[in-house]
C-alpha cells in the first residue's frame, strides 16, 4: 500500500476541483482505501482530493501586498486616485528598475475582472455539498461550474500565472498573504505510470488458475447435458464422448474462416471513427464503428449460402466440435496476448492485470489495448465473432429443429428465443459506441477471461435455450407467448432507456434535453445521476438485462432447470460485476460516492438488493 505524503494537520496548497487554482488548506483525514485526502479550506469547506491535487507550500513563492499601507481605507483611497492598480501610494517613490519590473509583472497577471469569475463557484458560496456528495437544496441540474471552466480554460492554459485569488472577500483578502505558483500553468501530457495491481479478484492466483480449467469444462458439460434425453441434474455426470470425436480439422478450419471473415469486415473503411476515453498517458485511441455493417454483410453471406442449398444445420450436428475449436483458438490467442504484453510499455498495461503473477495476469489480461496497427484485438472480439456468431448459431438451431421434427415452420418457442436474442444483438451493434465506456474496455486487460468469454462463452452458452429446444421441444399457447413477449419488452425498455440516459449524460451533461436530470457533482468533474433510472437503482441496466434473460428461458418450459442456467449465471455475473463497480467507484469518487449510495440505496433489485 503506498505511503501517504501529507500528515493530518499539515497546511498545504490544494487545487480547487475543475480549475487550476490552488488555495491554502489543512489536511484533516486520509482514506487508505480510496487514497483520498480530506482537506479543509479556511471558510470551512471540506473536499476529498487526490494526492496529485495537493502541493506543499514550499512549491509556492511568497508575495507581499503591493501597498505599504496598513489601513484598508487608506489603501482604498490611494488606489482610487491612481490610474493603475499597481501605482504606489502618494508620497512613496518608486525606482525606475521597480517600474520596469512592475511592467513585466503586469503582463503576467490575469486581470482582476477575469479572476472574479470564479466567485460563482468559490467555496464560500457553493460549499462541500456541491462537489463532495450532496446536491444543492433545489437539486437542479446546475452546470455553471462546467460552463465557467470551459470559458476560463483557454486563458488559464496560456503562459500566465494567476496571482490574485482567495477564498475570502476582497477586504479580507488584502489582509492575507497571497501565493503564486512557481510553475507556469500550461497544457501538459500525463506521465502516469501503471501501478501494480494490489487487490486481486476472482480468488487471486489460485482462483484464476482453477477458472482456466473450470470454464471450458462447464461449457462442455452444458452441451453434453442438452444432448441427453433427460437433461436433469439427477443424470449427472453425462456420458463422456471419445476424445477423438471432439476434434475435426475441417471444423477448426471453418471456425478460422469465420473469425478472419469478421476481421475483414472490421477493416472495411465504412462507418465513423470515434475516440475512446483518455488512457493513463492522456492518449485517446480511435475506433471504427461499423459493427452493424458487419452484421448486414454477414446476413447477406448467410442468405447467399442458404440460397445455394447450403445445410446450415451442419453447425448443429458438429456443435461440440465447433465449441472445442473455439476454445482451442481462444487459448492460443490468450498465450499470444500474454507474450506480446511482456514487451508492452508500462503505461499500456491494464490496471487490473499488472500484479506480477503469471497466472493472474494471463487470466485477467496484462495489456489493456493490444493492437496490431489500427486493429484493436479486444474491441474486435467484444462484439464481432462471438456476438454475431450467437445469431448464426440460433438460426442453425431453428433450421435443425424444422429438419429433425419434419416441421414446415419453426415452433413458437424457437421463434421467441430467436427474436428476443436477435433484438439484443442488433441493439448492441447499433449502439456499438457505448461499449467504449464499459469496464471491459477501460479497465480490464485482454487475456484469457475476455478471449474465452467473447469467443466461446457468449456464442455457445448464450445460445443454450435454442440448442435445448431442438432436442426438447416445448409447445406454448399464444397468450403465454404474449405474456413472455411483454416481459421481454419491459426488460428491454429498462435496459435501453437506462443505458441511453447514462451515455447521453456522459457525452454532453449540458444538453438542454437532459435538464430534468439531477446529479451529484464529484471532485473528478463528472456527475452521479440521482434521478431517472439511475435514481431508482444504481444499476438499472443490469435489472433490465436480468428481466430479459428470464424471458429468454421461459419459452423452454419448466421440465428442467438446464435452460435457466443462463439466468442463474447472469445474476451471479452481474452481482459480481456490481461489486467490482462499487469498489472502483468508491476509489474514484470518494465521499461523493458514499453520499450517492445513501441517496440510491438499492443496487440492482428495488427494495431487495
Q: Do residues 263 and 372 make contact, with C-beta atoms less than 8 angstroms apart? A: no
d(CA 302, CA 15): 58
pLDDT at position 111 over 60: no
Of residues 262, 317, 269, 316, the one with CA closest to residue 294: 262
Q: What is the pLDDT of residue 487?
A: 96
SS3 549: helix
DSSP H helices in 58-143:
72-81, 96-108, 112-115, 128-132
Give which of 525, 526, 566, 517 is closest to 546, Cα–Cα. 566
In sequence order, the 6+-apart residues with CB closer than 8 A to the CB of 240 are 224
Q: Has residue 235 got a pLDDT over 80?
A: no
Look at residue 177 in the predicted model and tell me its pLDDT: 39
**Of 438, 574, 521, 589, nearest in space to 126 by CA:** 521
Buried b (16+ CB within 10 A) or exposed e, 576-587: eebebbeebbbe
DSSP string, 393-438: HHHHHHHHHHHHTT-SS--HHHHHHHHHHHHHHHHHHHTGGGGGGS
Tell me the CA distances in angstroms from 278 to 190, 281, 436, one per residue in order: 10, 8, 11
Phi/psi at 86 (5° precision): -90, 0
Of 151-165, 237-251, 332-346, the poorest mean pLDDT is in 151-165
Calculate mean pLDDT across residues 292-318: 93
Angle between helices 412-430 and 464-471 (to 10 degrees): 160
- Asked if pLDDT for residue 113 goes beyond 60, the answer is no
* C-beta neighbour count of 371 within 10 angstroms: 15
Mean pLDDT of the chain: 78
* Residue 330: its H or E element: helix 319-341
Q: State pLDDT tens for residues 139-196.
A: 444 444 443 344 334 443 333 333 333 444 444 444 443 343 434 333 344 344 556 7
Residue 132 binned pLDDT confidence (cut-offs 50, 70, 90): very low
pLDDT at position 589 is 82
Assigned CATH topology for domain 10-58:
SH3 type barrels. (2.30.30)
Tell me the range of 270-284, 456-470, 574-588 where mean pLDDT is highest.
Answer: 456-470
C-alpha cell at 31: 482514506
**Nine-digit cell at 60?**
509556492
Cell numbers describing residue 445: 486487460
pLDDT at 412 over 60: yes
Residue 605 has pLDDT above 90, yes or no: no
- Give the start-to-end residue ranges of the domains of the chain: 10-58, 204-475, 476-608
Q: What is the DSSP letter of 454?
A: I
| Spatial contact of 556 and 413, defined as CB atoms under 8 Å apart | yes
Q: What is the pLDDT of residues 484-528, one digit of tens each?
A: 999 999 999 999 999 888 888 877 777 788 888 888 888 777 788
Q: What are phi and psi of 54, to 5 degrees?
A: -120, 135
Query: CA 5 → CA 10, 24, 31, distances in Å?
Result: 10, 17, 12
Q: How confident is the model at residue 36 (pLDDT cuts 50, 70, 90)?
A: confident
Q: What is the mean pLDDT of residues 404-429?
A: 94
Amino acid at each position: 500500500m503506498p505511503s501517504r505524503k501529507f500528515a493530518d494537520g499539515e497546511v498545504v496548497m490544494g487545487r480547487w476541483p475543475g480549475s487550476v487554482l490552488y488555495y491554502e488548506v489543512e489536511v484533516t483525514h486520509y482514506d487508505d482505501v480510496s487514497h483520498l485526502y480530506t482537506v479543509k479550506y479556511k471558510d470551512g469547506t471540506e473536499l476529498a482530493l487526490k494526492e496529485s491535487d495537493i502541493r506543499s507550500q514550499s512549491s509556492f513563492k511568497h508575495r507581499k501586498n503591493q501597498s505599504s499601507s496598513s489601513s484598508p481605507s487608506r489603501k482604498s483611497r490611494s488606489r482610487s486616485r491612481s490610474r493603475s492598480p499597481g501605482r504606489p501610494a502618494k508620497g512613496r517613490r518608486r525606482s525606475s528598475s521597480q517600474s520596469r519590473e512592475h511592467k513585466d509583472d503586469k503582463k503576467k497577471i490575469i486581470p482582476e475582472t477575469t479572476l472574479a469569475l470564479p466567485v460563482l463557484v468559490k467555496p464560500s458560496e457553493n460549499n462541500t455539498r456541491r462537489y463532495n456528495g450532496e446536491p444543492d437544496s433545489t437539486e437542479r441540474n446546475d452546470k455553471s461550474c462546467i460552463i465557467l471552466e470551459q470559458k476560463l480554460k483557454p486563458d488559464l492554459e496560456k503562459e500566465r500565472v494567476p496571482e490574485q485569488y482567495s477564498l475570502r472577500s476582497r477586504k479580507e483578502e488584502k489582509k492575507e498573504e497571497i501565493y503564486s505558483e512557481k510553475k507556469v500553468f500550461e497544457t501538459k501530457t500525463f506521465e502516469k505510470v501503471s501501478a501494480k495491481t494490489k487487490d486481486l479478484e476472482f480468488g487471486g492466483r489460485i482462483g484464476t488458475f482453477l477458472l482456466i480449467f473450470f470454464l471450458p469444462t462447464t461449457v462442455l458439460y452444458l452441451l453434453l447435458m442438452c444432448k441427453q434425453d433427460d437433461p436433469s441434474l439427477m443424470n449427472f455426470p453425462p456420458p463422456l464422448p471419445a476424445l477423438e470425436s471432439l476434434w475435426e480439422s475441417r471444423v477448426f478450419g471453418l471456425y478460422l474462416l469465420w473469425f478472419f471473415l469478421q476481421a475483414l469486415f472490421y477493416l472495411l473503411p465504412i462507418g465513423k471513427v470515434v475516440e475512446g476515453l483518455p488512457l493513463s498517458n492522456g492518449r485517446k485511441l480511435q475506433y471504427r464503428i461499423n459493427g452493424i455493417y458487419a452484421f448486414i454483410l454477414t446476413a447477406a453471406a448467410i442468405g447467399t449460402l442458404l440460397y445455394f442449398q447450403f445445410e446450415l444445420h451442419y453447425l448443429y450436428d458438429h456443435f461440440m466440435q465447433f465449441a472445442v475449436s473455439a476454445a482451442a483458438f481462444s487459448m492460443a490467442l490468450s498465450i499470444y496476448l500474454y507474450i506480446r504484453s511482456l514487451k508492452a510499455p508500462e503505461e499500456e498495461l491494464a490496471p487490473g492485470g499488472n500484479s506480477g503473477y503469471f497466472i493472474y495476469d494471463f487470466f485477467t489480461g496484462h495489456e489493456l489495448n493490444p493492437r496490431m496497427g489500427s486493429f484493436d484485438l479486444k474491441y474486435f472480439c467484444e462484439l464481432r465473432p462471438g456476438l454475431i456468431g450467437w445469431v448464426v448459431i440460433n438460426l442453425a438451431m431453428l433450421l435443425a429443429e424444422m429438419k429433425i421434427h419434419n416441421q414446415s415452420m419453426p415452433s413458437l418457442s424457437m421463434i421467441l428465443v430467436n427474436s428476443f436474442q436477435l433484438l439484443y444483438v442488433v441493439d448492441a451493434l447499433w449502439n456499438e459506441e457505448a461499449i467504449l465506456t464499459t469496464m471491459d474496455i477501460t479497465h480490464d486487460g485482454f487475456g484469457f477471461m475476455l478471449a474465452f468469454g467473447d469467443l466461446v462463452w457468449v456464442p455457445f452458452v448464450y445460445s443454450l435455450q435454442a440448442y435445448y429446444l431442438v432436442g426438447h421441444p416445448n409447445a406454448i399457447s399464444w397468450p403465454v407467448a404474449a405474456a413472455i413477449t411483454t416481459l421481454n419488452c419491459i426488460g428491454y425498455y429498462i435496459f435501453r432507456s437506462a443505458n441511453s440516459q447514462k451515455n447521453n449524460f456522459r457525452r454532453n451533461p449540458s444538453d438542454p434535453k437532459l435538464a430534468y436530470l439531477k446529479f451529484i457533482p464529484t471532485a473528478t468533474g463528472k456527475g452521479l445521476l440521482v434521478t431517472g433510472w439511475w435514481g431508482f437503482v444504481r444499476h438499472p441496466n443490469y435489472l433490465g438485462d436480468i428481466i430479459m434473460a428470464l424471458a429468454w428461458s421461459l419459452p423452454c418450459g419448466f421440465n428442467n432447470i438446464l435452460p435457466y442456467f443462463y439466468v442463474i449465471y447472469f445474476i451471479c455475473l452481474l452481482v459480481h460485476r456490481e461489486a467490482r463497480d462499487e469498489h472502483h467507484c468508491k476509489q474514484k469518487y470518494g465521499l461523493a460516492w458514499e453520499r450517492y449510495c445513501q441517496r440510491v440505496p438499492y443496487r440492482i433489485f428495488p427494495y431487495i438488493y
